[in-house]
Structure 1
Amino acid sequence: MSYNIHHANPPSRPGEIDLEAIARVIRDQKADLVALQEVDVNTGRSGTVNQASALAELLGMNFYFARAIDFDGGKYGVAILSRYPLSGMETMSLPETAAPQSEDRVLATATVALPDGRMIRFGSMHLDVSNAANRLQQVQAINQVAAQEKRPFILAGDFNDMPESAAIQELDKLFTRTCGSNCAPTIPVDAPTRTIDFIAFTHASGLEVVSQQVVPERYASDHLPVVATLQFK
């Protein structure tokens, strides 16, 4: 699953936090691996709660949080949730030289030990919202990391860009998006018109898509979650 959780603030309830609603969405989809974006850790606006840890506890999952910026007395960034053991967790800062004033962005990655003993690499990211050239640079940096990865590599997150954009076209050079050429919109939740949240895997991963859907969950966040089932060929 890829899910921008809007720091667990339902759009219809300004200023309120509902972590259980986010957990329910993940639980209902029976997701094994989740890439989260817009996660608060110990910020004032979210009641000084470590949202990554709290969601992991609610769901009985392992987690890794990657700080992008300091915010409101705490940290803000992306996270990984996993039903399987995690190791080799890393946070990589993404470039923003085209517009250095933009909010800092990161890629979080971890090695996941699957039940059959196979190991994969899983990544969660959130690209720049304001500058297309930054987004292109950030995807190029992610592609460089993925090209060096010997394990199957799954990437998920909020790309803040549409399928026809330069950034997504760059992504497609190395990755296969689970939605293929028929990518349903993920934002805004009330009447979705834009497809900016994706799950993808490197061409060399040996994976194929069993199913893919955008979940019509309109309360918990301002993004719709994306869920895909993958299998090894």
Structure 2
Amino acid sequence: MMKSICWVFLVTLLGTSACSTPKANKDNDNSRKSLKIMAYNIHHANPPSEAGVIDIDAIAQVIQKEDPDLVALQEVDVFTDRSGKDLHQAQAIADKLGMHYYFAKAIDYQGGYYGNAVLSKFPIEDSIRIELPTLPGVKAEDRSWAGIKVQVDGQSLWFGSTHLDFKTEENNLHQSNTLLKALEQLSIPVIIGGDFNVVPSSKTIALFDKTFQRTCTGECPYTIPMINPTKTIDFLMYRPKGAFQTTNHHVVPEEYASDHRPVVATITIDSL
């Protein structure tokens, strides 16, 4: 189902980490005219108020209440010491929701992997992992983009999840440029959800705004911290700008499951 793609060193298929959950086949409805999307940094399913606790159910319940078609997850653990050597968080969440999933590692971590994932009500036709390395000499984590190709309303699109570096603006911009350059090779519409670790007035968001349309560009609800949030660093956006129209954008007032609040948008796909 998932063919190999290689664009120099930027884009690679993750192999055995790319899977789908068969239960989602029952929800293969391509007749819809709108799409509900979510971006959610799940803090490796660790509620900040519960040190050392991994609560997959809490994350799944937050997502289930919103009932999105596509979900971009960040800070996902797979087989790590802290979360459980037998726990694939993306798979576990997908199984609880009856959705397909794809995980793309950013780094090796505690004997397992740490990275981004996407969940989909639609069967996954293809998947790619885009590596977002750090600048030489910068002590920061490599990042990634987890992307899937799906059919919606009879049309193909890419949906992906990313999590950019927070330590330096220069490195954040470097990873952004790497991602945007790789995405230029995708000829069909692209939707991104993620934790960009920058505010709307940043150089990074200005860079994405050149080719992507954010689902909220005015006074947008804050996303972090989860209690009394003070800034917005989580975004949903799409390209080309005329491919969709945003009909709703909101932030879920969730205060337990993660240190971020989820971002949700409904977009029309009539012009896709």
Determine if the TM-score, normalized by the shorter chain, exceeds 0.5.
Answer: yes
Percent identical among aligned pairs is: 48
Q: CA deviation at 1:204?
A: 4.5
Query: Which secondary structure does the structure 1 equivalent of 2:125 belong to?
Result: strand
Pair 1:200 & 2:232 matched:
no
Q: Which residue in the other structure is 1:8 paired with?
A: 45
Question: Of 242, 245, 259, which residue of structure 2 is paired with 1:222?
Answer: 259
Q: Which residue in the other structure is 1:86 paired with?
A: 124
1:80 and 1:216 map into 2 onto residues whose CA distance is 21
Pair 1:166 & 2:209 matched:
no
Q: 2:130–2:179: 8 Å Cα contact kept in structure 1?
A: no
Q: CA deviation at 1:100?
A: 3.4
Relative contact order, CA 8 A, sep 6+: which one is greater?
2
Greater displacement, 76-85 / 99-108? 99-108
Q: CA deviation at 1:86?
A: 0.8
Question: Of 74, 91, 100, which residue of structure 2 is paired with 1:62?
Answer: 100
2:56 and 2:226 map into 1 onto residues whose CA distance is 18
One-letter amino acid of the structure 1 residue matched with residue 92 of structure 2? A
How does the TM-score come out when normalised to structure 1? 0.96
Q: CA deviation at 1:181?
A: 2.0
Correspondence list, 1:91-102, <5 A: 91-97=129-135, 99-102=137-140
Question: Of 120, 145, 149, which residue of structure 1 is paired with 2:186?
Answer: 149
Query: Which secondary structure does the structure 2 equivalent of 1:45 belong to?
Result: coil
Q: CA deviation at 1:146?
A: 2.9
Query: Which secondary structure does the structure 2 equivalent of 1:12 belong to?
Result: coil
Q: Which residue in the other structure is 1:107 paired with?
A: 145
Q: CA deviation at 1:38?
A: 0.3
How does the TM-score come out when normalised to structure 2? 0.83
Question: Of 76, 97, 102, which residue of structure 2 is paired with 1:39?
Answer: 76
List runs of 5+ in structure 2 lacking aligned partners.
1-37
Question: Of 166, 177, 193, which residue of structure 1 is paired with 2:214?
Answer: 177
Question: Of 73, 76, 96, which residue of structure 1 is paired with 2:114?
Answer: 76
